[in-house]
Every structure is written in structure tokens, then in C-alpha cells.
Amino acid sequence: MPPTPPAADPARHNAWLLLPVALALLVSGWQPYDRATWWLEVAPVLIAAPLLITTHRRFPLTPLLATLIAVHALILIYGGAYTYARVPLGHWLQSLWDGSRNPYDRIGHLAQGFVPALIAREILVRRGLQAGPWLLGFLCLCVAEAISAWYELLEWGAAVALQQGADAFLGTQGDPWDTQEDMACAGLGALLSLTLLRRWHDRQLTAIKATAPSRAG
């Protein structure tokens, strides 16, 4: 029987994901619709990228999680280039669904729950949290909703500080329940992530622990 080929290096896989994100960031920042809004929207990418780069060898993420983080970054970058209320994909969805508003920000808030829930799960599992699947899932859901709540507070703070200049960042589009609906989308995204990807994530966590036990702890 031929020997089993070695598993792909997660750190190398994750490093390649930086290329499309960096390219999208450069393109979106060339001539965004509103420069101040662009900075506000892509700020999470500019904060997370250096952190992931400096820790990718000591704590390489599973390929699944790294890919989802890259996709989330692209969602933020795309929204920042146009502002969420003007994203062409959102206008197409609005026309398709005969909606009253551009729904692209809902995609962003779904991702805001979908991805952080898996980030929390990976950190907690790899740091040795002793918890059953239900408690682990509940804690990850709480983390995702807490991040969503803090982001809504950040939007409120920007609105107070910038006054009318924060309208594009808020992206409420006249909806008085926008904050609650955004947090509901984040919660739904977290539930979907934890339900649909749990087994896939567990397999990759096991693989990382087997190939790099010194890094997992």
C-alpha cells in the first residue's frame, strides 16, 4: 500500500488567502464612494490581518476557518467600496426579491455571526475548554452576539461623533428596527455556522492537533 501523502500545511494554505483579500482591499480603496465610510467598514480587516499574520505559525487556523475569515473580509471590503446601501449585488437582490431596501448589509451581519462563532469555537476547543457540545455552542453563540452588540454600539458612537457623516456607515436606510434586525441576523448566522459546520470543523481541529500538537495548546 502506498504511503499516505502528508497533510497540507494549514499555515501555507492560510497565507495564500491573504492575496485575494489584499488585492480586493487595494482595488476598493482606490476610489471608494465615500473615503471615511470605507475606513470605517474595512477597519476590522485592517485590525485582524496583522494579528493573523503574526500568529499564523504559532497558532495556525484550520483551513475552514481561515477561508471563512477571508470571505468575511471580502464582504466588508466590497461593502466599504460602495457603502452598504449602494452595493450593486444588493440592488440586484432588492430587485429580485422586490424589496424596499438594499439587503446587502444583512449579508454582512449574517457573516458577522457566522464567522465569529466559529472563531470562538476554534479558540475555546484548542485552548482545552471542557464543555459539552450544547454548552460550547451556547458560549460561541453568546460571543457572536456580543460582537454584534459591540458593533452596533460602535455605529452609534460614530453617528454621535460624525453626525450626518455617519449615515452611510449606519446604513439603516430608514428602518427604525435596523439595529435589532442586524443582531438577529448575526444570531441566525451563528446558529447556522455552529449547526452546519460543526462536524467539518471538528475533523479539521483533530487534524491540526495530530499534525501540530505543540501549536494547539
Q: How buried is residue 74: exposed, middle or buried, by Cβ count under 10 Å (0-12/13-18/19+)?
A: middle
Compute the mean pLDDT over every residue in the chain, rounded to the nearest whole number: 85
58-103 confidence digits (pLDDT tens)? 888 999 999 999 999 999 999 999 988 889 998 898 888 877 788 8
Q: How confident is the model at residue 128, as a pLDDT?
A: 87
- CA 203 centroid distance within chain: 21
CB 120 within 8 A of CB 113: no
Give the global pTM.
0.84
Q: How buried is residue 9: exposed, middle or buried, by Cβ count under 10 Å (0-12/13-18/19+)?
A: middle
102-113 confidence digits (pLDDT tens)? 889 899 999 999
C-alpha 199/C-alpha 118 separation (Å) is 12
CB 120 within 8 A of CB 139: yes
All three cell numbers of 48: 485582524
More confident call, 2 vs 98: 98
C-alpha 66/C-alpha 17 separation (Å) is 8
- pLDDT confidence of 4, banded at 50, 70, 90? very low
- Residues 103-124 have a mean pLDDT of 94
CB 211 within 8 A of CB 7: yes
C-alpha 135/C-alpha 7 separation (Å) is 31
Please give the C-alpha separations between residue 181 and each of 25, 78, 134, 184, in angstroms, as whole numbers. Answer: 28, 21, 25, 5
> Is pLDDT above 90 for 143?
yes
C-alpha 194/C-alpha 109 separation (Å) is 16
For the ranges 27-31, 163-167, 198-202, the lowest mean pLDDT is seen at 163-167
CB 21 within 8 A of CB 74: yes
203-214 confidence digits (pLDDT tens)? 999 998 877 544
> Is pLDDT above 60 for 168?
no
> Is pLDDT above 50 for 1?
no
